[in-house]
Amino acid sequence: MDWEGRRESENVEDRRMVTPGRIAAGGGGLVVLLALVVYLCGGDPRALLEQFQQNQQQPGEEKGATNDSEQEKLKHFVAVVLADTEDVWHAQFKKMGKTYREPKLVLFSGKVESACGLADAAVGPFYCPGDQHVYLDLSFFEELKTKYHAPGNFAQAYVIAHEVGHHVQKLLGISDKVHAQRSRASKVESNKLSVRLELQADFLAGFWGYHAQKMKHILQPGDLEAALRAANAIGDDRLQKQARGYVVPDSFTHGKSEQRIRWFRRGFETGDFSQGDTFSIEYDEL
């Protein structure tokens, strides 16, 4: 995938050196109290909180910095891919007569606080609709290569584009509609609705790939296959088979490998937004 030297998004927030909950430790309670006083007096408490956070870092530690050159390269890569999603979705929303609101992408290490609660890196990359941020621990890309045998930049880009797809669903009201339906559904039906949402996000990732290629000619030979390997590797059936030795279809929440490949490919090959309505298929097809 051709990415170096291109525009990087300004919406990447690096929290890799920030420990969740650190501000509440030690003198954190006093700082929070002082921040509240500043706020009540009409001031901006953020400068005080940021200064305290910086002072809590270990000696020699720089906020947002890393000694790993490969991690830094990945950070730049993520910023380029996020910029590409911004360009594609701004154009597509304009065609719909809508305005695209760019999400933040938060880089973290180990654990992170979000509007959806405290999350561990083990959950993998995720989108939080509460704050409309994408969260990513860069170590997942190494796991994608070694554990899931899906190396390659476009495989990594697929992961980012999938999470941004959830943001698109949020902006269009799709995810809110599905969550409302899930709250009234049985456990099995709720899981199927979750699968539909995830398969549509896979479609939207493929859709992004189609239009990013059309706009910027970013792909190289083998890139599509890399993304398809990633989609295949993280299907519910494959993951359950690896973890348990058997699969439980009623517990699927993201879709089978074959489905994830099929919906990503549909988006990538058609570039037609109307082709991404996973809600038109019957439950027994899932």
Q: Where are the domains of the chain?
A: 17-55, 70-285
Whether the CB-CB separation of 133 and 103 falls below 8 Å is answered with yes
Q: Which of 90, 87, 66 is nearest to 76 (CA)?
A: 66
Per-residue pLDDT band at 172 (split at 50, 70, 90): very high
pLDDT in tens, 44-72: 555 544 554 544 444 334 433 344 788 99
* Kind of pairing between the strands at 133-137 and 117-120: unpaired
**pLDDT score of 277 more than 80:** yes
Q: What is the structure's pLDDT at 20?
A: 73
Q: What is the structure's pLDDT at 133?
A: 98
pLDDT in tens, 26-44: 444 554 555 454 445 555 5
Distance CA 257, CA 237 (A): 7
Per-residue pLDDT band at 285 (split at 50, 70, 90): low
Whether the CB-CB separation of 249 and 188 falls below 8 Å is answered with no
The one-letter amino acid code at 264 reads F
Q: Please list, in sequence order, all residues whose beta carbon lies within 8 angstroms of the beta carbon of residue 78, skipping any fewer than 6 positions away.
A: 12, 105, 107, 136, 138, 160
Task: With H, G, I as helix, E, B as strand and everything else as coil, classify residue 57.
Answer: coil
Distance CA 258, CA 280 (A): 18
DSSP assignment letter at 105 = E
Longest dimension (CA), the chain: 61
Q: What is the structure's pLDDT at 241?
A: 87
